[in-house]
Structure 1
Amino acid sequence: MSAIPSARNVVALLEHWSPKSMAMDGDPVGLMLGALEKKVKNVLVTLDVTEAVVAEAVEQDTDLIISHHPLLFMPLTEVDTSTPKGRVIQQCLQHDITVYAAHTNLDIAPGGVNDWLVDEMGIKDTKIVVPTKKDHLYKLVAFVPEEDTDQVRRALGDAGAGHIGDYSHCTFNSEGTGTFIPGDETDPHIGNRGELTYVAEKKIETVIPDSILAHVLDVLGRVHPYEEPAYDLYPLGLEGEFFGLGRIGTLASSTTLDAFASSLKEIFNVKGLRVVGDLGRNVQTIAVIGGDGSKYWQQALAAGADVLVTGDVKFHTAQDAEAAGLALVDPGHHIEGIMKQALADRLGKDAQASGYQMKITASAVDTEPFTFL
């Protein structure tokens, strides 16, 4: 049965695999404007929130805008509606449009912006360029009536709990007896108010990385039959997966820097790009950092990259990288626009799997400010 979700429900689908905790320190991600409790029938995914994008959103009767670049990147001291930013805020509030941003968390997340970029380039066997965070693991111990065990266990696994190496839905289960006395204001699933109740229960033990901990506990609360789910949670002295910015991998075969750079013009439909290095040199190991990633050129070089693909490269950074032997290709910051359709497709699949009824659209507005002559 389909249901109309709230903005919070939609955001939860995204934060399941791209949680805010993955974002770089100080990066303003999450809710920008509006309310997460409002019902959502139409979602617009965009790279930037500009006046043209908001006009598009209004025309499509959009309830929720999900952007990559945060609308409120810098703190505001005033909202002047005679300015472009002020008009954007005014129009969103006037038309009851909630605005949410997934920025560096979407860059860092496995299956996010940087993975979409390397996939388009045909780069294989990728690793992280700049490690930023490491997951810490928790042990969840949930106490569940025997007849509900399969449902709860499956839901926890589907939410990402119990993932160990190449195995998923890993749990340990033991049997016991739970006891409780329902209070006067309760509506117990089992037993009667004021009476000591004995229930045959199973104890489900599983591991959870802290990046999805809140999501898994939310799922447990929704699928557990008790009003107050019984569970224990404690940290483990084990570390989980590394996360980070950028990806580095290899092309299927070596090619010249000239040929590789030219291929990016076609892949990302850009009319011009900047290249640093000998155009005739052979390259095969490619590092990619979406957005403004040239500050990490030394990490890319140390990781073995022949060339770094990133945007917003500065003059002296280019000189330093060239002197060190690292080629650079700058196709512009705007190639991150690949996230519009990719994220819309991912959210659409996740929404369908969750039984949510809504329309998710990739913005058709081109927010690239540069023109190549």
Structure 2
Amino acid sequence: MNCVEIINNLRKWAPEELQEPWDASGWQIKLADRDVTNVVVAMDVVPEVVDLAAEVGAELILTHHPFLFGGLSNVAEETTKGAMVVDLIRRGISVYSAHTNMDKAKGGVNDQWIDKLGLKNVRVLSEEDELGIIGENHMVLADLKAVFQAEGIDNVRGYGVKKEAVETIAFVGGSGADYIDEAALQGADVLITGDVKHHDGQHAAEIGLMVLDIGHFHSEKAILMAMARWVEEISGARAHVVMNSPFVFEI
């Protein structure tokens, strides 16, 4: 199966028209229709990911975050991004990104957390843009902590009102602080997301919501394994997954 055939099938799973208006999902670098034997799946296109693609002889890189988000006014090889663009084209490696459309897709980013959290009666958190989920499960903080630790998430920061037990749980992958009001309006006891700021936490406290920041990368990383399994099933190519963020570290 070639690059275009794989992506056409991916579009059936996560149609590009589902993405938010500000998003840049889709082809980032589209080269000749090469037969695909190896695919690298990662959160972002960074030098380490490009190096891995070259090492394993990949013809395609699939990412969650768009590589060319915001666009490029020029490609200068002396810049990090420009050097990656040049290197990828020279090596014949295409890049495709599925971002907010994959957040919303059945089995996408948000759905990955339904089973992890044991949610029942699940519905969309924000009907307006179809982002996020909210469902029900009685859990104490120790239960939530165990779920996070099973996912390799050890550093969770809590904001707002600390609650020892919750019944209604909202989740938004990536940066979900904008949904604090919606989560509270929908009756959530807790919102699990990433990229929460100090003043977001203050606002959550004022409206009686607990917010747990598990980190942007950690909130979305489960989709990488799901995409990798999908690639291997649909195409027979080998998927190489980058399950860490090279530019996020702890000290």
Is TM more than 0.5 here? yes
TM-score, with length taken from structure 1: 0.63
**Identity %, equivalent residues:** 32
Letter matched to residue 241 of structure 2: S
Asked if the contact 2:38/2:57 (under 8 Å) is kept, the reply is yes
SS at match of 1:283: strand
Partner in structure 1 of residue 134 of structure 2: 248
Q: Which amino acid aligns with 2:96?
A: Y
Are the structure 2 counterparts of residues 280 and 126 from structure 1 closer, same or farther at C-alpha, using a change threshold of 3 Å?
closer
The aligned residue for residue 43 of structure 1 is: 39
Q: Unaligned 5+ residue runs, structure 2?
A: none
User: Offset at 1:8?
Assistant: 1.3
3-state SS in 2 of match to 1:113: coil
> Match for 1:41: what amino acid?
T
The answer to whether the aligner puts 1:299 opposite 2:177 as a matched pair is no
- Aligned match of 1:86: 82
- How far 1:262 sits from its partner (Å)? 1.9
Partner in structure 2 of residue 346 of structure 1: 230
Q: Deviations over 1:103-137 (max 9, x none)?
A: 0000011211110123222223211011246xxxx
Distance in 2 between residues matched to 1:288 and 1:362, nearest whole Å: 27
Q: Is the aligned partner of 1:127 residue 2:5?
A: no
- Preserved CA contact (<8 Å) 2:161 2:208: no
Alpha-carbon RMSD across the aligned residues, in angstroms, is 1.8
Is 1:366 equivalent to 2:244 in the alignment? yes
Q: Is the 8 A contact 1:34 1:96 kept in 2?
A: no
Query: Could you list the per-position Cα deviations for residues 320-348 of structure 1 after superposition, in whole angstroms to 9, with x for gaps in the alignment?
Result: 01110110000100111111111111233
In the alignment, is residue 308 of structure 1 matched against residue 175 of structure 2?
no
Equivalent pair of 1:287/1:307 in contact (CA under 8 Å): yes
Higher mean C-alpha deviation, range 64-73 or range 272-281: 272-281
Aligned to 1:267: 150
Counterparts of 1:19 and 1:89 in 2: how far apart (Å)?
Answer: 25
Unpaired runs of 5+ residues, structure 1, are 134-243
Q: Of the candidates 101, 106, 111, which is equivalent to residue 110 of structure 1?
A: 106
CA distance in 1, matches of 2:86, 2:113: 34
- Distance in structure 1 (CA, Å) of the matches to 2:112 and 2:246: 19
Return the letter of the residue paired with 2:184: L
Counterpart of 2:73 in 1: which secondary structure? coil
Whose strand fraction is larger, Structure 1's or Structure 2's?
Answer: 1
Q: Report Cα offsets for 1:1-32 as digits up to 9, x if no partner.
A: xxxx1211101111112100000012111100
How far has the Cα of 1:36 moved from its partner? Answer: 5.9
Equivalent position SS for 1:295 = helix
Does structure 1 retain, via aligned residues, the 8 Å contact 2:221–2:243?
no
Matches within 5 A, 1:181-330: 244-251=130-137, 253-255=138-140, 258-330=141-213
